[in-house]
Amino acid sequence: MKAFLAALGAAIVFCGAAGAQTLTPIYLTGDPETRINYVIMADGFTADEMDAFAEAAEYFRDLLLGSSPYVRYLRHFNIYRMDLVSNESGVSRPGNPRDTALRSELGCFGIDRLLCANGSRAGQALAAFPYIRFDIRLIVVNTTDYGGGGGFYATTTLHPAAPSVFQHEIGHSFAFLNDEYVDPNICAQQPGLYGPPGERNATAQTTREASPWALWIDPQTPVPTTAPLDAVPGMYEGAHYCPTGVFRPTFNSLMRSLNRPMEQINTEHFVLRFNDIGLGIDGVNPAPGAAAMPRDGRIRFTVIPKTIDGAAFGVTWRVDGDIVQQPAQGDAPQADGIGFSADGTAYVFRGADWPPGVYQVTATVTDATELVRNDPTGRTSRTVSWTVTVEDRQTPPARLVSSVLPYARSVASPGAATAFASVINAGSELAEACTLQIARGPAGAPGPVDYRATDPATNTAIGPDNPEFDIPAGGLATFVFGGDFTALGSDQALDLRLIADCANSDPAAQMPGVNSVLWTFTPGAAPDIVSIAATSPDAGVVNLPSNGARGAVALAAVNIGAAGDVVLRADLGAGNLPLEPEICGTDPATGVCVTPRMAELPVSFGAGEVRTFAVFLRAHGPVQFAPERYRVFFLFEDANRVARGGASVAARTRE
């Protein structure tokens, strides 16, 4: 599972070389692994000035999300505020240092307006949160004087021109754009100071044909271009600080002057970067790789595409390169029924439609945007693939499905963890000579596990240990199973898969959270939180409206281990679901929240204590119904992020 976890923390505190720092999410749309993560960092703000920084961070967040081209890609972003407390307020200047967290200096390198921060100290602050890849890094410095800088970190101040300055600087640090203005003093130091033109929005080429943005120049536009017209791509002389010999793509963009639009070519580079990092696909099912099926079998492939302007990317499906399903064209109806105008997010591969053999199934999403013309390497498209083998056999007459509760346990070692299992024969004949085994993770080899049959009405263990058993067609068998697996890893959560198999069946399909357990074996005392999740009206499935309303999950938990402190977090699973959770503790009699709703909830659990919780989930993109993969996991973790209990539910969106 890919962790959403502390990336969603309401307040995550770390102490390091740059001083105490707190990371707070202020805009979230999904797993940071599939999002463009934008962090706004404080410098020159003392502890008493942190409220002012919080206001500034919200201001810069709203400016970014409300401007082009970001507004079209809102659901590609997560935004975080990093509170870094400085000992002194303000900003350093040459010869007049201030003791600030990131040692920002205005007037560095002899340029009055240039604002530089200590990259080593900023890097140490970000390194405290290794589970988040920070893609846009903005340092806001506590001064109203004019200034800013680009590079790996964009910097800005609280000057009235800051809205334009910081977007200009992000053009450098994120989209790798050059300055387009002329500065004779800097030009005289070129190329030694900033190097040659980057050939994105500044070039030493002189002809239309050799221009990096030739696809944007209309045939009737002269080259070189001299007319002072807005938004007319051409070859305008004067850029990268030098008045001659270097050309820019438009007459006057934001990379040349403040309070100007980015214009076409610069916007294109932003969009290409959005697609490089944010991808176009949040999740897939099954996991990309190899899959096998009998002639009469089928595999339902699904993709979770990202959304733009509230609508999901369409999905094109191919088998061995030939299109077998594509998004509806024009005004054709959208058939998925999962909101966000999701179209073609599922494809069913039926073995009966193909001779036995090996096939390549692919799903492609494309950001078909008019904002990009120059994309020779296909940066606006994403493709995932599966290798499917159609085997020359029929499905066995017995067909098994299984489930396990509770999902997560934490026991003192030496000692055995236990859970309950149910196995159903959904086939047409008696399932014969069946056994249970256990494997570590999806690729682990099955090994022995202790189990006994139970009375399904009482869960009381009955019969001999580790029996071979039969299940009639349509029948059910129930068990308690367990063991001490400390040898596989101590004080770490072990992903263990229960394997049910019979002589005349295939093994029950592995489904994390459905028939797997997360067991931790800990030397000494620790909480052991047994929890269960409930949803309505569909048991085990949270239905999420596509209109921004939240779906709800109820959790109940009892600590049968030692007292201890944990944090209840949401993990969006291997599907990287585009969901935003809020969690609260509830009154068990009424279900009403008795704590603030937050992305992660600290909980002090007494020994033997029962607690109840509510989780509210909002969808930022479509989610097909695939409970074997698209699940939300609710984990109780200690300070070292070791699981001490947990539960899960399937998630799906609906119109």
Which of 387, 277, 294, 350 has the alpha carbon at shortest distance from 30? 277
384's CB contacts (< 8 A; 6+ apart) are 281, 284, 288, 303, 362, 363
Each residue's pLDDT tens digit, 287-305 = 999 999 999 999 999 999 9
Whether 603 and 583 have beta carbons less than 8 Å apart is answered as no
Question: So what's the pLDDT on residue 83?
Answer: 97
pLDDT > 90 in the chain, percent: 76
Tokens of 514: 């459905």
Task: Give this prediction's pTM.
Answer: 0.84
For residue 548, pLDDT beyond 60 = yes
Q: Average pLDDT in the 159-165 region?
A: 91
Q: What does the pLDDT read at residue 2?
A: 35
Interior angle at CA 203, CA 201 and CA 207, nearest 5: 115
**Burial zone of 231 (CB within 10 Å; 0-12 exposed, 13-18 middle, 19+ buried):** exposed
pLDDT value, residue 151: 83
56 pLDDT above the threshold of 60: yes
pLDDT above 70 (res 119):
yes
What pLDDT does residue 11 have? 44
Residue with tokens 């959560």: 493
Q: Which of 29, 195, 2, 17 is nearest to 621 (CA)?
A: 29
For the cut 70, the answer to whether the pLDDT of residue 19 exceeds it is no
Q: pLDDT over 70 for what percent of the chain?
A: 96
- First-to-last CA distance in the chain? 27
The confidence score (pLDDT) of residue 50 equals 96
- What are the pLDDT digits (tens) for 471-527? 999 999 999 999 999 888 888 889 999 999 999 999 999 999 999 999 999 998 999
Confidence of residue 196 (pLDDT cuts 50, 70, 90): confident
Q: Which residues of the chain are in CATH 2.60.40.10 domains?
A: 281-390, 396-524
More confident residue, 257 or 68: 257
- Domain 526-655 is of which CATH architecture? Sandwich (2.60)
pLDDT above 80: residue 401: yes
Going by pLDDT thresholds of 50, 70 and 90, the confidence category of residue 3 is very low
Taking residues 62-83, report their average pLDDT. Answer: 92
pLDDT for the residue numbered 147: 94
Give the per-residue SS3 of 461-530.
Answer: EEEEECCCEEECCCCEEEEEEEECCHHHCCCCEEEEEEEEECCCECCCCCCCCCCEEEEEEEECCCCCEE
> Which part of the chain is CATH 3.40.390.10?
5-159
- Give me 252's structure tokens: 């006057």
Is the backbone of residue 497 left (phi > 0), alpha (psi -120 to 50) or beta?
Answer: beta
Q: What is the model's pLDDT at position 508?
A: 96
Average pLDDT over residues 534-558: 95
Nearest to 73 by CA among 33, 133, 29, 24: 29
pLDDT score of 9: 40
Tell me if 328 sits within 8 A of 335, measured CB to CB. yes
With cut-offs at 50, 70 and 90, classify the pLDDT of residue 335.
Answer: low
Closest CA to 527 of 556, 559, 557, 555: 559
In whole angstroms, give the CA distance from residue 181 to residue 253. 9
Q: Amino acid letter at 116?
A: C
Using left for φ > 0, alpha for ψ between -120 and 50, and beta otherwise, residue 151 falls in left
Of the candidate ranges 24-28, 124-128, 201-205, 391-395, the one whose mean pLDDT is the lowest: 24-28
How do beta strands 281-285 and 148-149 pair?
unpaired
Instruction: List, by residue range, all CATH 2.60.40.3670 domains of the chain.
Output: 526-655
In which region does residue 285 sit, left (phi positive, over 0), alpha (psi from -120 to 50) or beta (all else)?
beta
Average pLDDT, the chain: 92
Give CATH superfamily name and number for 396-524.
Immunoglobulins (2.60.40.10)
pLDDT, residue 486, reads 87
In CATH, what number does 281-390 get? 2.60.40.10
Count of C-beta atoms within a 10 Å radius of residue 31: 24
Q: What tokens were used for 24?
A: 């707070």
- Per-residue pLDDT, 7: 38
pLDDT at residue 156, rounded to an integer: 94
5-159 topology per CATH: Collagenase (Catalytic Domain) (3.40.390)
Q: Which of 8-12, 227-231, 435-439, 523-527 has the highest mean pLDDT?
A: 435-439
